[in-house]
Amino acid sequence: MPRQRKVEQRAAGTRDRILAAAAAMIGEDPSVNLSVRTVAARAGVSTGSLRHFFPTQRELRDAVLAVIYDHVVSEDGIHDRSVPARDRLVNCLRQVLAPAGVGEQAREAWGKLFETFIAPEPTDEVRAAYLAMDREGQRRVESWLAILTQEGALAAGENTRRARFLMTVLNGLATERALPAEKSILRSETETLYMAVDCVLNCRT
């Protein structure tokens, strides 16, 4: 069932060149700033042409993220539509949380984070190192949201904000894993993850 006519395929060609250029730039330097002009120049098209396919920078960025993580096709299970979207997203978020560890391991992990990024004078080098880490996590979460948006499980347009929100929840959970806890932390952690995910999936903003 070929929905696209010939002209649209030609258009898809330059659309893809734009996405490929942007993806290549991120591949070379994950902290690169994707401006209209740099991406357009790299793709060999005009800024106006880029704007024709991606009316705002946000839409360009979201599309690039989706492309990158589609090609990486990891086993995170985000694509498995036999599972409800909320369960898939929660499982993915657990993968971000996993390196935080539990118990003594969690305290050691927090200790390293503290000694590396909080205790020392925040030089540009220290800042850049942390921000690269943070952006990587943010990108992962945004890529999952982009995929759920593509399936229609999520309204478009706020994924950066949503990802920031989820990252904050994960930071809170990671911190609480290092701090003393009342009773089984797993239960309240699961409840909190589902509350955050349901918020993102259901609430209008």
- Would you tell me which residues interact with DNA (CB under 7 A)? 7-8, 10-11, 13-15, 33-38, 44-49, 51-53, 55-58
Residues 6+ apart with CB under 8 A from 24: 42
Torsion sign, CA atoms 193, 71, 34, 137: positive
Using the rule CB under 8 A, which residue among 30, 122, 156, 186 binds a copy of itself? 122
Tell the smallest beta-carbon distance from residue 66 to a copy of itself (Å).
Answer: 16
- Integer angstrom CA distances of residue 31 from 23, 25, 128, 131, 136: 12, 9, 9, 9, 9
Q: Is 55 in the site for a copy of itself (CB under 8 A)?
A: no
Q: Is 119 in the site for a copy of itself (CB under 8 A)?
A: yes
Mask 129-168, x = binds a copy of itself (CB under 8 A)? -xx--xx-------------------------xx-xx-xx
Q: Which does 172 bind (CB under 5 to 8 A by kind): a copy of itself, DNA, none?
A: a copy of itself
Task: Give the total of residues touching a copy of itself (CB under 8 A).
Answer: 46
- Integer angstrom CA distances of residue 61 from 13, 114, 157: 18, 31, 11
User: Exposed/middle/buried for 66, CB within 10 Å: 0-12, 13-18, 19+?
Assistant: buried
Q: 10 vs 161, which CB is nearer to a copy of itself?
A: 161
- Tokens encoding 30: 């994950």
Contact footprint for a copy of itself (CB under 8 A): 107, 110-111, 113-114, 117-119, 122, 126-127, 130-131, 134-135, 161-162, 164-165, 167-176, 178-180, 182, 188, 191-192, 194-196, 198-200, 202-205
